[in-house]
Amino acid sequence: MKVAAGQFAVTSDCEKNIQLCIHYMRVAHAAGVDLLVLPEALLARDDNDPDLSVKSAQPLEGPFVSALCKASAGNDMTTFLTIHVPTTPGRAANTQIALRNGEIVAVYQKIHLYDAFSMQESRLVDAGATVAPMLNVAGMNVGMMTCYDLRFPEMALSLALAGADIIVLPAAWVRGALKEHHWATLLAARALDSTCYVIAAGECGNKNIGQSRVIDPLGVTIAAAAESPALIVTEVTAERVNAAREKLPVLAHRRFAPPALL
């Protein structure tokens, strides 16, 4: 099937961000894409106000998601992205959703919060407690992870053991010393840990690196973007997953008990 990752700079204007998302959805659909991944925290972002994503939080039935659902009506392309959804006053959940044919077909609340490199996501964001169930897209099983989840190999392994062929990863990977190296290394490592495709979309604003990538089950980068807005498109196949697992049967060779799904 055909997959894509779209990256752009999220603005402080929620309406503009809606239009950016819809633009990428339309371009991807016109290209025959079955699965599109967009970046993390798409409601609003401001370099001078790190809390804007939470301050702008909307419920899933709010205008942001409603507009994207309307834009997705009438086609079977599945789009993955994250927004902040209110929990208690002043707090929110970093929530990944999958949209298809006008509906939300999967929801995942980010489990691992980015309390690292002098940042503290948990200050205003509540962690999730469960992984999302597998979502079938064009005959392949898709597992959902978000940004900092990438640093936890047991999560990718859990998804693979639950049947994932593909792992999607909306992200807003913060710039910094060695961070681009971490991103590239971890994406390849998670693909190899799980023998899954990894489709990662990175926000490419002033503070984040962009660098969206599609990695195949043997750790090979098959599509990549730089730091500017872009849509990358490529093909993935179940046959490649099966062949990788025959050549590299790490899932079958495990000598430790599998990590438990939350």
Active site residue 207: no
Residue type, 52: L
pLDDT of residue 261: 65
Residues 6+ apart with CB under 8 A from 244: 195, 216, 217, 218
pLDDT at 257: 79
Given a contact cutoff of 8 angstroms between Cβ atoms, the answer to whether 95 and 57 are in contact is no
- State the catalytic residue, choosing from 21, 40, 203, 204: 40
Summarised one tens digit per residue, pLDDT across range 150-175 is 999 999 999 999 999 999 999 999 99
- Residues 84 and 91 sit within 8 Å (Cβ to Cβ): no
**Strand pairing class (78-86; 35-37):** parallel
pLDDT at site 240: 98
CA distance 106 to 58: 17
Find the catalytic residue in 147, 196, 203, 204: 147
Distance (Å, rounded) from C-alpha 177 to C-alpha 194? 27
Between 14-30 and 63-72, two packed helices, what is the crossing angle to 10 degrees? 20
User: Domain spans of the chain?
Assistant: 2-247
Contacts of 61 (CB under 8 A, 6+ apart): none
**Has 110 been annotated as catalytic?**
yes
Residue 30 has what DSSP assignment? H
pLDDT at 209 over 80: yes
Angle at 152 (CA atoms; ends 150, 155), nearest 5 degrees: 90
- Indicate which residue of 110, 196, 203, 204 is catalytic: 110
**pLDDT tens track for 95-120:** 999 999 999 999 999 999 999 999 99
Quote the pTM value.
Answer: 0.97
Task: Please state which CATH class domain 2-247 belongs to.
Answer: alpha beta
- Tens digits of residue pLDDT in 27-37: 999 999 999 99
Is the CB of residue 259 less than 8 Å from the CB of residue 194? no
Instruction: Answer positive or negative: Cα dihedral of 26, 31, 33, 38.
Output: negative
Which pLDDT score, from 0 to 100, does residue 262 have? 62
Distance CA 83, CA 43 (A): 6
- The pair phi, psi for residue 253, each rounded to 5°, is -90, 5
Per the annotation, the verdict on 40 as an active-site residue is: yes
